[in-house]
Chain A
Amino acid sequence: MERIPILRMGDLLLVTIQVDMHDRLAMTLQDDLTERIVSDSAKGVLIDISALDLVDSFIGRMISNTAAMARVLDAQTVVVGMQPAVAITLVELGLTLHGVKTALNVEKGMALLGKNLNR
């Protein structure tokens, strides 16, 4: 089955979404990430969406849900690299990704996770 790879770096999990996701693939990623947070005792999750040229309500909800699930499993999520056109469209659509931390790029996202995890 098609899957989006999840990389581990210390106690962080890194995901780069590089394909146009259909809904089932997005759900699989949400489930996989939640399982990996527990099995790897991860404290942070970094999701890079810089290659995504679209975030619709389904993908937006998957991102929000993943962040909420990570939070109750004692891990923080940062979404990085959103394209400006995607941000404009997302807000006009009515989605604000409430409760999801964001950063402009991977480097800043890693710094934010590091700061929040006190290192």
Chain B
Amino acid sequence: MNAATAVEFDTELLELNARHRLDRVTLPLRGDEDVVGLRKQVRERAVAIGLSLVDQTKLVTAASELGRNTIKYGGGGACHLDKLADGFRNGIGLLFVDNGPGIPDLDLALRDGYTTGGGLGLGLSGSKRLVDEFDIDTRVGEGTAVAVVKWKR
């Protein structure tokens, strides 16, 4: 298992996902090319559960933003791709984990246009708008976990 999974994250959403998980694939995120691979894998799974084209695109775009964050700010890590079913609907869950420096001020990091990396500051805030569920667990000096879910409508 990747070292990035060592930190135990326990937000409400992450627990919820564990109960509804049918299947999990883990992809390492170390460099630019891994984000391209991640996008492809997320797209394939989104198509498989029948997400609409717009929802596929939103999920893949969120994956691209969050995967880049994991590499750029978290120093690399992994993404767990989960197939979810809660009894009523199917969905895709993505859990990004890293052992990076963590986010000292989460409210600030979630604000549109705020960036420490010279980007547009839309990665975190923008991704939140593209998915149905969004949760972050971050610990300074330990790492960050970001969980998102897109449900089939």
Contacts and interface: CB of A to CB of B under 8 A. Distances in A.
Interface stretch (B29-37, B77-85, B98-106, B140-148): B29-37
A53 B60 contact: yes
Nearest to B40: A20
Interface residues of A, number: 25
A54 B46 CA distance: 14
A107 interface: no
B152 interface: no
A94 B43 CA distance: 21
B64 interface: yes
Interface in B31-59: 32-33, 35-36, 39-40, 43, 53-54, 56-58
Given A20-B39, A93-B126, A54 B119 contact: no
Interface stretch (A9-17, A32-40, A43-51, A81-89): A81-89
B43 A53 contact: yes
A86 to B, nearest CB: 6
Chain A interface helix/strand/loop/mixed: helix
Chain B: interface secondary structure?
helix
Interface residues of B, number: 27
Contacts, number: 74
Interface stretch (A55-63, A71-79, A111-119): A55-63
Contact of A94 (B53, B56, B129): B129
Contact of B61 (A22, A24, A54): A54
A11 B107 CA distance: 48
Contact of A89 (B33, B39, B43, B61): B61
24 contacts: A22-B33, A22-B35, A22-B36, A25-B32, A53-B57, A53-B60, A54-B60, A56-B61, A56-B64, A56-B65, A57-B120, A57-B122, A83-B57, A85-B53, A85-B57, A89-B54, A92-B126, A92-B130, A94-B112, A94-B125, A94-B126, A94-B129, A95-B122, A95-B126
Given A23-B32, A89-B57, 4 more contacts: A56-B61, A56-B64, A92-B58, A94-B125
